[in-house]
Structure 1
Amino acid sequence: MSYQQFRVSGRSSKRPHREREAGAGSGVLFTLATAASFLGIAATYYFFVRTTAGQFIDESALVEATELSGSAGRASTEFLDLLPMLSLAIAAVVVLFVTVARRRWRAAGIAVLACVAANLATQLLKFVIPDRPNRGVQTLDFNSLPSGHTTLAASAAAAVFLMVSPRWRPLVGFLGSTFAVATGVSTLINQWHRPADVVAAFLVVGAVMLPAGWLILRTGSSWNVWDGYGEHWAASRLWVWLSVASLLAGVVVAAYSLAQILPGLSQDSTVDYFWAGTAFIVVAGYAAALGGTWLFGRAARRI
């Protein structure tokens, strides 16, 4: 066999293997992740809205948020007031810059449409989901799930995540999830939303943005490749470990807080329900970041 024949043979043997890994295998994972997001929305709604224990835990976290009123409440209010413009500005600047600089027009269209769809889905669910049933828990009976502010922040961060090159995604995943988590916690401190509302918003964004991300991977394969962690400072494993550390911290806080109030759902708590709800938000937000970074990294990994 000549050298030229060897080179041609080598290319033809590697390319199908690359397509199999990033195509069928990753497609199944994206489908499973999307299905898990839908199931998560249903499970969150059922437990925290339809059951007595879920309503009590969720409402208690909201009531105990008054303990952090004052400077924290004022700061969260100012942040939430700025959030719509801040989210749109960040997403618009990054998406527009990447689109123009890298000519990713199709990817930009998909990401923007998915972002809009996620926010529309949240507003639709607010009207479609029945009001909270009376389970003996003193609470407002209207539906507040999912959180619109959290959806806006998380979907804007997700749009940026989809648009940037794979080597930037570990950094963007950490920063975007931090932004979304801060938004969700702020809505709780400000008593705009219960913890379950925030988690449901994360899941709505996942259910919409995951299929959009897969479509971008399939239509923008020429730039959706990378050589793994360490090829760029934004692709450092540091960002993954920071997400892991934040998630574990949330798990520890949740476990400790729940141990103080369970079993029996103690009514003597002053802040345990609040910290459990906050930890629930932190765990959900950083788990989404880790899952997304791993899933998209696997699909874009160069062989």
Structure 2
Amino acid sequence: MNTHAAPHRSGRPGHIAARVAAWPFLFAAIISLAGLLLSYRFFVKTTTGQFMDESALVEAAVARQRIGVQTAQALDVLPLTSVVIAAVVVLFVTLARRRWKEAGFALLAMAAANLSTQLIKAGLPDRPNLGVNTLALNSLPSGHSTLAASAAAAVFLVVSPRWRPAAAFVGGGYAVAAGVSTLINQWHRPSDVLAAFFIVAFWTALAALVVMRTGSSWNVWLGSSMHWASRRWWTALTLLLAVLPALLLAYMMTSVPMPNLDSTISYFLMGVGQIMVVGYGLTCAGTLLLTLAVRRRHRR
């Protein structure tokens, strides 16, 4: 006679009545909030940060001369594109898979991120005068970057686990491209984009906890080999796109004198590197956060 009790399951296939631990998601939200505060503290409140930020914005004119027209056209349709993509995918998943609650929380997180961005931008004071020749008007966080990243996050939350690694890679790349485009067009400094990413990550982590606890009937991991969109190399490639710019940043920070008044492109490249490190780094962390939780639930 088997004395080991089997895991409790409901009548629906794949439903596993297991609670997801809250602390990893709350910890992720705290880390995101800390990233937001540190970004503001360094890039706005210190002379070195202001110089790096402003230099990247000025040097972006070099890239803008080559691809500015194309990126400007993309930015013109970015808000509508972001909303349409998120709305179509979320609506399809909601209607086809009947994930009403999950879709509601994903859209709520998207709205909260964009509202937070506007409130923070309006509430923060002008940039302090620290001797750096820069516009005093506060531009942190970037509204365009928030919209793009939050749209990608909404899709990431409602798709099934087998689709999440691929959805995260594509969505993260979309958000990074949007952030770099705002820099190239000299609309936003790199720190504005970083702040936007951290805001989206904060609300996504909180929404993910709710989604994981309400969507137990479909949040089941069948293994990375069961579907092309869940292959491990999606996450590996995302991590690689975060690590390589980080190594480049470390090299440039140690080899380029600070401040470098003769630089023509170094600070722009560092700004792009910062956007890639944070954008793809948060994307990789989000993928691991949700997929590991699903795997633990499945094994129970």
TM-score bracket relative to the smaller structure: over 0.9
**1:225 shift after superposition:** 1.4
Structure 2 residue corresponding to 1:204, chosen from 199, 212, 218? 199
Structure 1 residue corresponding to 2:20, chosen from 23, 43, 58? 23
Partner of 1:10: 6
Structure 1 residue corresponding to 2:270, chosen from 263, 272, 276? 276
Partner of 1:118: 113
Residue by residue, what CA displacement relative to the aligned partner does 1:110-162 show, whole Å, maximum 9, x if unpaired?
Answer: 11111011000000000111110000000000110110000000000000000
Decide which moves more: 253-262 or 93-102. 253-262
Using the size of structure 1 for normalisation, the TM-score is 0.92
Residue 23 of structure 1 aligns to a residue whose secondary structure is: coil
Residue 172 of structure 1 aligns to a residue whose secondary structure is: helix
Structure 1 residue corresponding to 2:290, chosen from 293, 296, 300? 296
Q: For residue 282 of structure 1, what is the amino acid of its counterpart? A: M
Residue 7 of structure 2 aligns to a residue whose secondary structure is: helix
Does structure 2 retain, via aligned residues, the 8 Å contact 1:122–1:151?
yes
Partner of 1:194: 189
Does structure 1 retain, via aligned residues, the 8 Å contact 2:59–2:264?
yes
Partner of 2:148: 153
Gap runs ≥5 in structure 2: 10-15
Residue identity over aligned pairs, in percent, reads 51
Tell me, in whole angstroms, the C-alpha distance in 2 between the residues paired with 1:9 and 1:56.
Answer: 63
**1:294 shift after superposition:** 0.4
Tell me, in whole angstroms, the C-alpha distance in 2 between the residues paired with 1:7 and 1:172.
Answer: 42
Does structure 1 retain, via aligned residues, the 8 Å contact 2:17–2:216?
no
Residue by residue, what CA displacement relative to the aligned partner does 1:158-214 show, whole Å, maximum 9, x if unpaired?
Answer: 000000001100001100000000000000000000001001100000111111111
Tell me, in whole angstroms, the C-alpha distance in 2 between the residues paired with 1:256 and 1:109.
Answer: 44
Tell me, in whole angstroms, the C-alpha distance in 2 between the residues paired with 1:152 and 1:11.
Answer: 41
Tell me, in whole angstroms, the C-alpha distance in 2 between the residues paired with 1:73 and 1:260.
Answer: 29
Q: For residue 11 of structure 1, what is the amino acid of its counterpart? A: P
Residue 90 in structure 1 maps to residue 85 in structure 2: yes
Decide which moves more: 47-56 or 240-249. 240-249
Structure 2 residue corresponding to 1:74, chosen from 64, 69, 76? 69
Cα distance change, pair 172–257 in 1 and its aligned pair in 2 (3 A): same
Residue 139 of structure 2 aligns to a residue whose secondary structure is: coil
Using the size of structure 2 for normalisation, the TM-score is 0.93
What RMSD, in angstroms, separates the aligned Cα atoms of the two structures?
1.6
**1:8 shift after superposition:** 8.1
Task: Identify the structure with the greater helix proportion.
Answer: 1
Residue 265 in structure 1 maps to residue 256 in structure 2: no
Over 3 Å off, 4+ runs: none
Residue 46 in structure 1 maps to residue 41 in structure 2: yes
Tell me, in whole angstroms, the C-alpha distance in 2 between the residues paired with 1:71 and 1:7.
Answer: 71
Q: For residue 147 of structure 2, what is the amino acid of its counterpart? A: L
Q: For residue 295 of structure 1, what is the amino acid of its counterpart? A: L
Tell me, in whole angstroms, the C-alpha distance in 1 between the residues paired with 2:47 and 2:7.
Answer: 61
